[in-house]
Structure 1
Amino acid sequence: MKAILATLGVTASLAFSSQLQAATYIHAGTLIDGTDNDPRSEVTIVVEDGRFARVESGFQQPSDDDTLIDLRQSTVMPGFIDSHTHLSSQLSQGSYMNRFTDNPATTAVRAAHYARLTLHAGFTTVRELGDSDHVSVALRNGISQGLIEGPRIFAAGKSLATTGGHADPTNNTRDSLIGDAPTPADGVVNGPIEARQAVRKRYQDGADLIKLTATGGVLSMASSGDNPQFMMDELESIVTTAQDYGMTVAVHAHGREGMLRAVRAGVDSIEHGTYMDEEVMAAMREHGTYYVPTITAGKSVAERAEIDGFFPEMVRPKARAIGPLIQQTFADAYNAGVNIAFGTDAGVFDHGENYREFGYMVEAGMPAMEAIRSATYHAATLLKQDDDLGTVEAGKLADLVAVEGDPLADISILSEIHFVMRDGQVFKQN
């Protein structure tokens, strides 16, 4: 009996070993690998245990135990990274009432739906820059556990603001509905001590990074869309505390002064950047600060500002003034040599339409290859995940997308992703 059990054990062990060794072979007609290399034709990508094992020239044949995916008629690229999303919300007419009517469970269900749309659009990783009710952290965990279909998430949790600032959740709310004044736990800080407390609370909540709103914003219920809203000591307190906890800092900013303070404080990225000037760009180059443009959000709010009743009247003039400017700011920043990472502010417009950003970037003068690299190599570098993400190279996580045709000749075909792989698992194949 012991001999039989031993034999069964050996057989099971061999079967398990064989299963681990099984690989996926992907025959790519064209590969854009995310590096600064030119595209390669007729390439085999071998995936083992969720990572790229090797990339070989020619169409190599798998063994009988391996899986073959035929993408010989496609252009294959690393999975895209959107550096600025809000999966817990989607702007629509009347959505300003959602915070008064929707329970956290409702928000979470919607977020799961938006996450799936995002993944199927080819975005295998996102930075989730601001939520409520801890939805993004829970969503991140559910996706990583295989319970929910969506992109890999790096979550900021609740954005940080000063009293009355862009991310103060009590703006324009009747006093009797507010109760106690919001605290650092709610994302509202005043002074460097509270700033430290807020970062530590985000860490306790399970956030991966910090998001703060250094200036006014378009969609908040406040009069200014660009005034500076943090002092230098507050910004420095946030940055140094975040660094102690291994967290990066992303900064919403439209106005020049708020951007300049944030860059000098050592933040990792500026989001939107509408009124960026040459001095701000020079400071960003000096500090290595990334710019995440969100052109699509700007275009979208400008269009919707023309729809009567879509925005509250306090928001409408800001949307009209700021929204149309972001694409030109992007062009100026690109020409000035500022580091640029792809980001859309999805949720301000409909989730799943993240691809629109590529077209606007190319329209503004960025070559298609650089636009793709902004959503792969550069976005991974901003995340400080370039050891695992951003390029198709041996040892990195196996994230891939594919389209029919040549996106370098026609960037618009990135709206028609027909293949998505994340961590070596296929989520879409048409």
Structure 2
Amino acid sequence: MTIALHCARLFTGINSGIAPDQAVVIAGNRIAAVGARASVDVPPDAQWIDLGNGTLLPGLIDLHAHPTYYFRRPDAAEYGRPAFSDALITLFAVSQLEQDLAAGITTVRDVGAVNRLTHDIEKARQKGFVRVPRVCGCGRIVTPTGGHVHDRRGLTHQADGVEGVRRAVREEIRAGAAFIKLATNGADFLDTEIQERSSEIQRVANGVEFSQEELDVAVLEAHRAGLKVACHTRWRPAVVKAIQAGVDTIEHATFMTDDDMRAIADKGIVWVPTIYQGVATIKLRAEKNGMNDGVLSEESYVRRRHLFELALRLGVKIGAGTDIFRPEVNFAALVDELESFANFGMSNAEALQCATRVNAEALGWGDRIGTLAAGKLADLIFVPGDPLRDLNALRAPKLVMLDGSIVGQH
């Protein structure tokens, strides 16, 4: 079946412009043609859909998500009981992914799944059993024994030493990983009240959980298999080692220096700053602990803004990811992240490209998704208004298409 979509405005993601009075022709699950309505070649038997006054653009991509991450829920203890099955956690994850799809997120990079459950969710999506975004999953997070999130049920693959890490990466690949996620130096200084003390902050900051040799072999094995590597970092020593190891994306890196950002730019590494989640979480933790949330949030805001502005000047590739795992924060918060980008100096068009083309390239899927062009998979959304003028236009998609099928229409 061939569908022709007519829109008042088109944002392809290829460049930063908006084209008026456009048509996108979809044959099966792929885009067949894109162009001005008056000149685009449309088969005579195509079904025309006039979308009206709004903007058609590529489906959004969340580059940092945890659909199975139930740990922050008020009833999390129930999930951790042996009686709470993987099936129930899977259904929980599906419910989160359904929210994402309704919000116009057509692809999710899952950077850590309980018992690798999103591998099967993606298989179920491909078979048509569930209606959720396509999922690019890493399976379990490879972390040292006792390392970052080691205490989360089924979330990590703990390994030590060069050969232990090599084996862990190979086992995640065998289990179906689409990329490898490493975690090193994961704590941040607001995890507990005791870490307010400068000595404790320094101890956490200096504690790199993986050695350079362990990180090197992890990246080597992943790249040998043709997979990309994401690395969770917070403090500078971990960032430096991750850069040296040659990871493909660096997540968070909240406390890196200007020199680290320059190294990221030089190596072409994608930085996924998760700004909105970081500031929102600090505020929530401060409120919970009776701390001065205004001061803490301001310090966090200033630090993140400085790094972001530097990244823009250096031409660093910036990925858009939510990292939403708290019930107090809307799970489908990608628009909030894009607004954070715009508040820190990006144009709306550049922010949109981060959530589409840049994210697709970070996945290694730039030849399939992320832009509206002939031959690409037909993942797209239609929103009222013009998101290049106001990103809030993205909050209520009127149409969502995934793999050439309309999966949401309002």
Both proteins in one fold, TM over 0.5: yes
Using the alignment, how far apart are the partners of 2:297 and 2:22 within structure 1?
Answer: 47
Report the equivalent of 2:282: 302
Within the candidate set 205, 218, 243, 1:238 is matched to 218
Contact 2:251-2:273 at 8 Å conserved across structures: yes
CA displacement at 1:163 relative to structure 2: 2.0
Contact 2:258 2:307 in 1 (8 A): no
Q: 1:155 aligns with which of 137, 141, 148?
A: 137
Q: Given the alignment of the two structures, is residue 108 of structure 1 paired with residue 86 of structure 2, yes or no?
A: no
Q: CA deviation at 1:169?
A: 2.6
Deviation at 1:118, TM superposition (A): 0.5
User: Which amino acid letter does the alignment assign opposite residue 346 of structure 1?
Assistant: I
Residues 90 and 350 in structure 1, CA contact (< 8 A), matched pair in contact too: no
Alignment-derived partner of residue 379 in structure 1: 359
Instruction: For 1:321 and 1:266, locate their aligned partners in 2 and report how far apart those are by CA, in whole Å.
Output: 32
Deviation at 1:250? 0.4
Within the candidate set 393, 401, 404, 1:424 is matched to: 404
323-332 or 229-238, larger mean C-alpha shift:
323-332
**2:31 alignment counterpart:** 52
Kindly state the Cα deviation for residue 264 of structure 1 after the two structures are TM-superposed.
1.1
Identify the range of structure 1 (292-301 vs 266-275) with the bigger mean alpha-carbon deviation: 292-301
The match for 1:36 is 15
Compute the displacement of 1:409 (Å): 1.1
- Larger displacement relative to structure 2 (420-429 or 277-286): 277-286
1:54 is displaced (CA, Å) by 0.5
Partner of 2:239: 259
Distance 1:254 1:95, change over 3 A: farther
- Tell me if structure 2 keeps the 8 A contact 1:274–1:322: no
Q: Distance in 2 between matches of 1:262 and 1:322?
A: 25
Match of 2:253 in 1: 273
Shift of 1:62: 5.8
- The residue identity in structure 1 corresponding to 2:163 is I
Distance 1:35 1:61 in 2: 20
Instruction: Return closer, same or farther for 1:206/1:220 CA change in 2, 3 Å cut-off.
Output: farther
Distance, in Å, in 1 between the alignment partners of 2:124 and 2:152 is 29
Contact 2:8 2:55 in 1 (8 A): yes
Q: Which amino acid aligns with 1:166?
A: H
3-state SS, counterpart of residue 42 of structure 1: strand
Taking a change above 3 Å as real, the CA distance of residues 299 and 220 of structure 1, as seen in their structure-2 partners, is closer
- Structure 1 counterpart of 2:229, from 221, 226, 249: 249
Identify the match of residue 309 of structure 2 among 331, 335, 345. Answer: 331
Say if 1:404 and 1:138 are closer, same or farther in 2 by CA, change over 3 A: same
Alpha-carbon RMSD across the aligned residues, in angstroms, is: 2.6
Structure 1: how far apart are the matches of 2:252 and 2:262?
A: 17
Which amino acid counterpart does residue 274 of structure 1 have in structure 2?
Answer: T
User: Whole-Å Cα distance in 2 between the matches of residues 98 and 296 of structure 1?
Assistant: 28
Q: After superposition, what is the alpha-carbon deviation per residue over 1:28-57, rounded to whole angstroms, capped at 9, x for unaligned?
A: 110010012521000010000110000121
Following superposition of structure 1 onto structure 2, how do residues 165-176 of structure 1 map, counting pairs within 5 Å? Answer: 165-169=147-151
Identity of aligned residues (%): 29
Note if contact 1:28-1:74 (Cα within 8 Å) is conserved in structure 2. Answer: yes
> Does residue 169 of structure 2 align to residue 199 of structure 1?
yes
Distance 1:267 1:307, change over 3 A: same
How far the C-alpha of 1:347 sits from its partner, in A, is 2.4
- Map of 2:339 onto structure 1: 359
If the length of structure 2 is used for normalisation, what is the TM-score? 0.88
Alignment check: 8 A CA contact 2:59 2:104 kept: yes
Q: Deviations over 1:357-399 (max 9, x none)?
A: 1111111111100000001111111111111111100000011
User: What are the superposed Cα offsets for residues 47-94 of structure 1, whole Å, 9 maximum, x if unpaired?
Assistant: 001100001212569666422222231111101111100011256453
Larger Rg: 1
- TM-score normalized by structure 1? 0.84
Number of equivalences: 391
Match of 2:119 among 127, 137, 158: 137
Aligned to 1:121: 103
1:45 & 1:332 partners in 2: Cα distance? 37
Question: Which residue in the other structure is 2:321 paired with?
Answer: 343
Tell me the amino acid that sits aligned with residue 61 of structure 2.
I
